[in-house]
Amino acid sequence: MQYDGLDPDQRIRILPQPKRNKTGLWVALGGALAFICVILLAGGAWFMFGRSPPPIPIDTETEAQIDATQPCDTKVSRFAPDPEIVVLDFPNLTIQGLMLDRVAALIEKAHLPRNQVLDDVDLREAIYNCGDTIESYYYGHDYKAADLARFFQLAAQQNITLNANELWLKQLLNQLGWLDPGAVGALITLPAARPPVTEAMRAVILHHEISHGAFFTIPAYEAYAESFWDSLTDADRAAFTSFLGTEGYDTNNTNLMLNETQAYLVFTPDPQFFSAKAVGMSQAQLDTLRDGYIANMPNFWLTPMATETLPLGPTPKSCNTN
């Protein structure tokens, strides 16, 4: 509605002034306060008694299916041939590092305490001392359920402030039942193909980590890798131990040494990650070791993977939204 024919000053003068009713004002203020209290109480009740966060979706995928995708967000899949292996497929190295570098520092990085979770300052220093970044500390990770449970138990005991990615991992492990005593499972991870990670590197990282998954979930395979390690000459064991030391692994952990030896020797077909030169051997020497390992492997789903050519299929250039 318009006030035609009057100038603005006249309009103001003509408009009736509101009556100031003090009692009404206090009633209105009281009502508003009561309303705010109800909202806060309802929020608190939701926080305390409300629903837990929605479950994290978990897919099931083969190696070829993982190779053929590039996740936009962190994707969780059970590995189809062995559902006790859970694969975390990250959209980039940064999120992978933020979620798992502190775990790596506790479980298997050299020259760090095996019973103390690092806080942010000490973790940053440990990564820096290796000449690394959050992204490069590891390109792929692998841990058994019991070690992950121990990480979260120690972190709680030591009042370590965990970041949002680590808390998300804790939620996932809780959902999987891996924080319970005696849980069996292996977590393996890989990043999407974004520089510096190429599509070929991504496929090799996955292949390498899958072999660790088998090592952690199939006792007969762990026993085989151990017998192979014992069958090596002292010089060969020293060569692999020295290589793994330069890669930042704790060389005092024999189980870690023989697990990584099987993974690099047989399941890492990329000279950027591993070569005869890296262990001071001739190509013929290395081939003999590899062929011998494969010839006597127990026969299960991992066995054909030892001779696969990577990647298993064409990979998309960008992340998949479905």
220's tokens: 């007969």
Does residue 190 interact with Zn ion by CB under 5 A? no
Task: With CA atoms as reference, report the closest residue to 186 among 104, 60, 82.
Answer: 82
Q: How far is the CB of 157 from Zn ion (least distance, A)?
A: 28
Residue nearer to Zn ion on the CB measure, 173 or 263: 263
Size of the site for Zn ion (CB under 5 A): 2
Q: Is the dihedral of CA 151, 153, 157, 160 positive or negative?
A: positive
| Residues in 204-263 that interact with Zn ion by CB under 5 A | 260, 263
Closest approach of Cβ 260 to Zn ion, in Å?
A: 5
User: Hey, CA dihedral for 170, 176, 180, 184, is it positive or negative?
Assistant: negative
Pick between residue 160 and residue 201 the one whose CB is nearest to Zn ion: 201
User: For residues 61 and 260, which CB has a smaller minimum distance to Zn ion in the complex?
Assistant: 260
Q: Are 188 and 78 a contacting pair, CB within 8 Å?
A: no
Residue 190 or 263: the one with the smaller Cβ distance to Zn ion is 263
Bridge pairing between strands 75-79 and 59-61: parallel
Q: Nearest to residue 148, comparing CAs of 111, 190, 99, 197?
A: 99
CB-wise, 102 or 207, nearer to Zn ion?
Answer: 207
Query: How many Cα atoms sit within 13 Å of 226 on the Cβ side?
Result: 11
CB of 194 to Zn ion, least distance (A): 21
Q: Report the site for Zn ion in 259-318 (rule: CB under 5 A).
A: 260, 263
- Residue 206 CB, shortest distance to Zn ion, in Å, is 12
Min separation Cβ 68 and Zn ion, Å: 23
Q: Applying CB under 5 A, which residues contact Zn ion?
A: 260, 263
